[in-house]
Amino acid sequence: MAELITLKATARPRAGKGAARQARRDGNVPAVIYGNNEASETINLEYNELWKQVLRGHFTSTAIELDVEGKKHIVLARDVQVDPVRDTPLHVDFQRVGKDGVIRVSIPMHFVNETQSPGLKRGGVLNIVRHDVEVYCPYDRIPRFFEINLEGMEIGRSIHISEVSMPEGVSPVIKNRDFTVATIAGALKGGDDEAASADAAAPAAGAAPAAGAKAAPAAAGKAAPAAKAAPAAKPAGKK
């Protein structure tokens, strides 16, 4: 489960691009807190502390306790705008967690024991339909990932969301169907690929060669028949 992380912030009285640029010049990252039927708040985060948490990974799927000058908010980072060149954070949008503590978040899928899948050993391919799955869960019990064990799975096997083990209190957002997460698909054999390529390259039987195309060389080991010489012209008779 993901742990609750804490970030300190200061109130930013002014909104707008000018105030955001000034915050960055001061070594901060501008941010906003919204949601839960409360007024939005503009804040500044200390750049180094924020960057440290972003580098740890799972930043947008981890509940955060924002301490804004003594007032605490439980939030999720819903959007992190980054510099297109340096890939560093420029602005963060935080959404407040509701009173029931249940949030909607995407959880990545992890596949293990690929080497113990007979289907994959025989040349099958793991076709991942969903790399992550959206779920409802308590903010303080967000799974890091869902694990799927591929041991013993054959070609043609499909893995559905109902087969994914989820902790108590966690449920998929899509509830009306047992959707597919991944399949083990078969792969064409090398010989089949070569035969298909040869069939595609060979001209149709009896087809006339295209205009300007050179005749195909004779088969190996068989000499092409020599062209018959034209009969010599008879000498002109004497007068």
- pLDDT at 141 (0 to 100): 86
- pLDDT at 19 (0 to 100): 83
What is the spatial distance between Cα 163 and Cα 109, in angstroms, rounded to a whole number? 12
What is the spatial distance between Cα 174 and Cα 194, in angstroms, rounded to a whole number? 43
- pLDDT at 159 (0 to 100): 96
pLDDT by position in tens, the chain (length 239)? 556 789 999 988 777 788 888 889 888 999 999 988 888 999 999 999 999 998 888 888 889 999 998 899 999 999 999 988 888 899 999 999 987 888 888 999 999 999 999 999 999 999 999 999 999 999 888 898 999 999 999 999 999 999 999 999 999 999 999 999 999 998 755 544 444 444 444 444 444 444 444 444 444 444 445 445 455 555 554 44
Q: Is the CB of residue 173 less than 8 Å from the CB of residue 203?
A: no
What would you report as the CA-atom Rg of the chain, rounded to the nearest whole angstrom? 34
The widest CA-to-CA distance across the chain, in whole angstroms, is 133
Q: With a threshold of 0.75, does the pTM exceed it?
A: no
Strand partners, 207: none
| Extended strands (E) in the chain | 5-11, 28-35, 38-46, 64-68, 71-82, 89-96, 102-112, 125-128, 132-138, 146-149, 158-160, 171-172, 180-185
Q: Is the CB of residue 11 less than 8 Å from the CB of residue 41?
A: yes
What is the spatial distance between Cα 130 and Cα 149, in angstroms, rounded to a whole number? 15
- pLDDT at 64 (0 to 100): 92
- pLDDT at 234 (0 to 100): 52
Q: How far is CA 38 from the centre of its chain?
A: 34
- pLDDT at 223 (0 to 100): 46
Tell me the torsion sign for CA atoms 5, 165, 133, 110: positive
Helix-, strand-, coil-residue percentages of the chain, each rounded to 5: 20, 35, 45
Which positions ≥6 away from 39 have C-beta within 8 Å?
Answer: none
